[in-house]
Structure 1
Amino acid sequence: MSAQLKAKLSPYELRQEIRQGVHQGNTSGLAAGYVQCNLAILPADYANEFLRFCQLNPKPCPLIGIADKPGDFMLPQVGQDVDIRTDVPAYEIFEHGEHKARVNNLLDVWRDDLVTFMLGCSFSFEEPLLADGLEIRNITENVNVPMYRTNIACQPAGRFGGNMVVSMRPMKAADAIRAIQICSRFPAVHGAPVHLGDPAQIGIVDINKPDFGDAVSIKEGELPVFWACGVTPQMAIRHAKPPFCITHSPGCMLVTDLLNSRLSIL
């Protein structure tokens, strides 16, 4: 299926493509108008601490929803026939804070004590930026958004802590100001940028070597603009070292039936 046709799929149709293994890549630019979610799936005895971590760090960890009870893998609160075990293009499995595997479904590893957290994703605010005529370089270049570890400390909660991860989109100064105005209306999907300009000020050594995702071109006269990123929980999980947990693979989101427009503060 061509990229243009894939971009026109409804969230339900896209999830079916993902479930069947037809689509295994990142979800940026797909299912326009609908909320995409980062994931953190943790044992029940870590859930309350992680919930508190999200509450203390709403920019990198904006909470969209939580499974009703441990072991729930069907998530009707975010869409039709959503099965968290199969409906994300790729997942990362961690044991005691260490990355163990990247898998395309969770059918062989699902457990009855797992609690699913769904967190807002920056892909949701890309739509209003595009609608306002701003370029999103990772979409233009058909790559995953670049993401970087920073020296910006998160507020700790119990066993969870660590530094923020950010995503980056290059823009001219006037466009960056407009992006701040637009994204401030979307606190449920990371809100306004956390930094723009010199990457070194937030601990990024080489802007051309992202820690996650793909590098994009930065043209003359453009500033790198940084948003809090939903990969941050992965860093917090490495800090907490739960015996077992699962996250989305960076750029590979749960696409829901929730409308981005309902997240906006007008």
Structure 2
Amino acid sequence: MTNFSFRLNCILKKIRTTKPVIHHITNFVTINDCANITTALGASPVMAYNQDEVVEIASLSNALVLNLGTPDCSRFDVVTLSGKTANQLDIPVIVDPVGIGATQLRLNGIKRLFSEVSPSVVKGNASEIKTLAGLNITKNNVIDSTETMDATSIAAICAFARRINAVVAVTGKVDIITDGTQLIKISRGTEMFTYISGAGCLTSSVIGAFCSVEKDTFLATACAIYAVNICGENAAKECDGPADFKIKLINELYSLYGGKIKEEGIIFE
């Protein structure tokens, strides 16, 4: 993949010019942060989850972000209906399967979703994605992942991406993005991400915004994750603590442009 920073900058410009609508059905913990970070990028968030309106909202949207962090039975009805509508309209669907290994409700819900909806991107931490790919994980790691990704795990993730015909992104100390054929590793970011709640949720929102204007979903996902990492690094340099870091992260995404981006810490495989 050549001219990575140039293509990232093109995506940013298109978001700010076209102001795509990003429909979120996200968790109640980070909903405000997701809306703010989407707005800071230049896109327009809609945080609608009522079953009576999600089909209409989907028809007005340019991307759909489904975050399953605070699930209940009715929530899975809504995300499935929204996802099916997005598929029919060829709108990218980003799925964030938060903590799916923690309970049977979450696991059954995501299995149902995948049986009826074709995701464009599935993003999660190592334990979440390894659970989806059918790999064994340590039970204590199902929420706050300390799982690692060895060569066997990466091969299984690539096979999973091919099986569901989607881009799969594993976030962590080293981020891994694959469509089953192409693979990128990103070694950027900051430890400060571990001191705020919902860093992964915010990343999913950025992925949704990027995918809304870029048809190459693999490129859009890689660029989005790289952008979040770069902005996190810059925010961490001057922050006084976790709350200040989150504010500065949003500010950095608001002011991000190509001149700030150096293609370091990226491995294309």
- TM-score calculated relative to the size of structure 1: 0.29
- Structure with more strand by fraction: 1
- Structure with more helix by fraction: 2
- TM-score calculated relative to the size of structure 2: 0.29
